[in-house]
């Protein structure tokens, strides 16, 4: 069983969903992102997604776009993100990279997989890589012991869900709604139906993302999903902070609130 599998199994044994937190690598600085990730893990995040900032983030909403641009302006490169992964892995939490396909392809598919494994990463989420074009990626990740995470959408037909389940390892990323990333007042109503459609198709854990921003929403999703993914809400706490200390305090408070939510203790 992979490190991701062990983490989901441990959460399941506690009768709860796993909490997955996202932050772009290099945001607001390389050292700052590692410190923020550590604060997230210390306050209840089970699995960390390190975003690889990209100049054409078509699937990201304004909050993550702003953070990614700040990281790029500060000189963040793929190698910098890999160093952030090392720092994230040092917390003891499984660390994945979430990346558009272009930066991985430009870096070199095999080279990226090898480097990520060497830096302690355990897998990659590739939201825009189609399964039909993922042959080389599947070979590289398998050769380097990395999990592959593909996305399932509410509008995906049954044959597409079957393909996602066959190609994925680690877990399935169930997008709660269509559209770009971002915190919302409510989680998409189609999320639970998507999880129900995926259940008979896979033994992998199913994690729901896009739109979760509060402990109450996390508790809602945790009732039917194996994992709850939160990204924009963490990024917003950092963007709104006046100082690095305020940013660390903000992500720590949010992580604690969300951790209570996945444990059924949200107020």
Nearest to residue 40, comparing CAs of 236, 207, 254? 254
60 assigned to active site: yes
H or E stretch including 125?
strand 123-125
Rounded-to-integer distance, Cα 105 and Cα 227, Å: 28
Rounded-to-integer distance, Cα 133 and Cα 166, Å: 14
Give me the torsion for CA of 46, 50, 56, 60, rounded to 10°.
20
Residues 6+ apart with CB under 8 A from 126: 99, 100, 101, 104, 134, 137, 148, 149, 150
What tokens appear for 152 in the block? Answer: 């399932």
What is the DSSP code string of 17-57? PEEEEEEETTSS-HHHHHHHHHHHHHTT--EEEEE---S--
Q: 3-state secondary structure string, 150-184? A: CEECCCCCHHHHHHHHHHCCCCEEEECCCCCCCCC
Rounded-to-integer distance, Cα 175 and Cα 207, Å: 9
Rounded-to-integer distance, Cα 236 and Cα 247, Å: 9
Active-site option among 14, 31, 42, 49: 49
Nearest to residue 214, comparing CAs of 200, 227, 195, 230? 230
Active-site option among 14, 46, 56, 60: 60
Catalytic residue numbers read: 49, 60
């Amino acid at each position: 069983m992979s490190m991701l599998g062990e983490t989901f199994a441990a959460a399941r044994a506690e009768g709860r969903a796993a909490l997955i937190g996202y932050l772009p690598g290099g945001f607001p600085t390389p050292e700052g992102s590692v410190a923020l990730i550590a604060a997230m893990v210390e306050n209840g995040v089970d699995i960390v997604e390190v975003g690889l900032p990209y100049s054409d983030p078509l699937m990201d909403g304004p909050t993550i776009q702003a953070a990614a641009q700040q990281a790029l302006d500060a000189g963040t490169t793929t190698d910098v993100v890999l160093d952030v992964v090392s720092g994230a892995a040092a917390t003891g939490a499984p660390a994945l990279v979430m990346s558009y396909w272009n930066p991985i392809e430009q870096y070199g598919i095999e080279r990226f997989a090898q480097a990520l494994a060497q830096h302690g990463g355990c897998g990659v989420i590739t939201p825009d890589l189609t399964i039909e074009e993922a042959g080389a990626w599947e070979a590289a990740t398998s050769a380097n012991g990395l999990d592959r995470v593909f996305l399932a959408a509410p509008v995906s037909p049954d044959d597409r869900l079957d393909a996602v389940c066959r190609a994925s390892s680690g877990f399935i990323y169930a997008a709660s709604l269509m559209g770009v990333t971002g915190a919302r007042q409510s989680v998409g109503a189609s999320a639970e139906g998507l999880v129900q459609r995926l259940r008979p198709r896979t033994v992998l854990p199913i994690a729901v993302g896009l739109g979760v921003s509060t402990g109450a929403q996390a508790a809602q999703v945790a009732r039917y999903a194996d994992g709850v993914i939160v990204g924009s809400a963490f990024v917003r706490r950092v963007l709104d902070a006046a100082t690095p200390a305020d940013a660390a305090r903000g992500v720590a408070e949010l992580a604690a609130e969300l951790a209570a939510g996945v444990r059924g203790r949200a107020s």
